[in-house]
């Protein structure tokens, strides 16, 4: 049952400040509340969840590298590193399972510098603009992708 259902959710810089951080853009839901919602959704969807946050690019790169062995799919909200990090792109290119790029806001209708994503070239798909609920949508998409893969 856990075969091909292990999902790593990665959160980048400043997402530990959700709730306090620009609530008019990101809402008032904290990362701990998002994690709790993800745990409930993962149980419902039959996914094994690993939920992490780091403010460090190097730590995120290391976790993506480790996920080659320990996860079947990655959901990543790389936060500001989305727009700057070739290192995260290169790490994601090593991943063979599905990669879902996730954003709480819709970066495409914000400042021009947010329109470039270094995650998109390595992403299977992109979910953005649905607020904190996007995490649940991403888990539902991941469950579908992994179930399709398991069929072969």
Contact status, residue 127 vs residue 137, Cβ threshold 8 Å: yes
* Number of chain residues interacting with ligand DQA (CB under 6 A): 10
Confirm or reject binding of residue 17 to ligand DQA (CB under 6 A): no
Given the residues 83, 103, 135, 144, the one annotated as active site:
103
CB of 146 to ligand DQA, least distance (A): 23
Helices in the chain by DSSP H: which ranges? Answer: 23-26, 31-45, 57-70, 86-92, 134-151
Q: CA 139, CA 125: separation in Å to the nearest integer?
A: 12
For 34, the token pair is: 């998002």
Q: Per CB under 6 A, which of residues 103..142 are in contact with ligand DQA?
A: 103-105, 107, 114
CB of 114 to ligand DQA, least distance (A): 4
Contact status, residue 70 vs residue 50, Cβ threshold 8 Å: yes
Contact status, residue 44 vs residue 38, Cβ threshold 8 Å: no
Secondary structure of the chain: what % helix, strand, coil (to 5)? 50, 15, 30
Nearest residue (CB) to ligand DQA, 46 versus 121: 121
CB of 18 to ligand DQA, least distance (A): 9
Confirm or reject binding of residue 77 to ligand DQA (CB under 6 A): yes
Nearest residue (CB) to ligand DQA, 45 versus 128: 128
Nearest residue (CB) to ligand DQA, 54 versus 77: 77
The residues assigned a catalytic role are 26, 103
Given the rule CB under 6 A, which residues bind ligand DQA? 14, 77, 79-80, 82, 103-105, 107, 114
């Amino acid at each position: 049952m856990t075969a091909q259902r292990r999902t790593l959710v990665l959160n980048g810089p400043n997402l530990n400040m959700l709730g306090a951080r620009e609530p008019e853009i990101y809402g008032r839901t904290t990362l701990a509340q998002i994690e709790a919602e993800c745990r409930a959704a993962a149980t419902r969807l039959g996914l094994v969840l690993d939920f992490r946050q780091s403010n460090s690019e190097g730590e995120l790169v290391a976790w993506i590298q480790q996920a080659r062995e320990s996860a079947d799919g990655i959901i990543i909200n790389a936060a500001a590193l989305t727009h700057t990090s070739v290192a995260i792109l290169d790490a994601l290119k090593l991943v063979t399972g599905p990669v879902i790029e996730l954003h709480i806001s819709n970066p495409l209708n914000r400042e021009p510098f947010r329109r470039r994503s270094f995650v998109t070239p390595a992403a299977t798909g992109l979910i953005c603009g649905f607020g904190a609920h996007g995490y649940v949508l991403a888990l539902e998409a991941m469950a579908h992708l992994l179930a399709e893969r398991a069929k072969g």
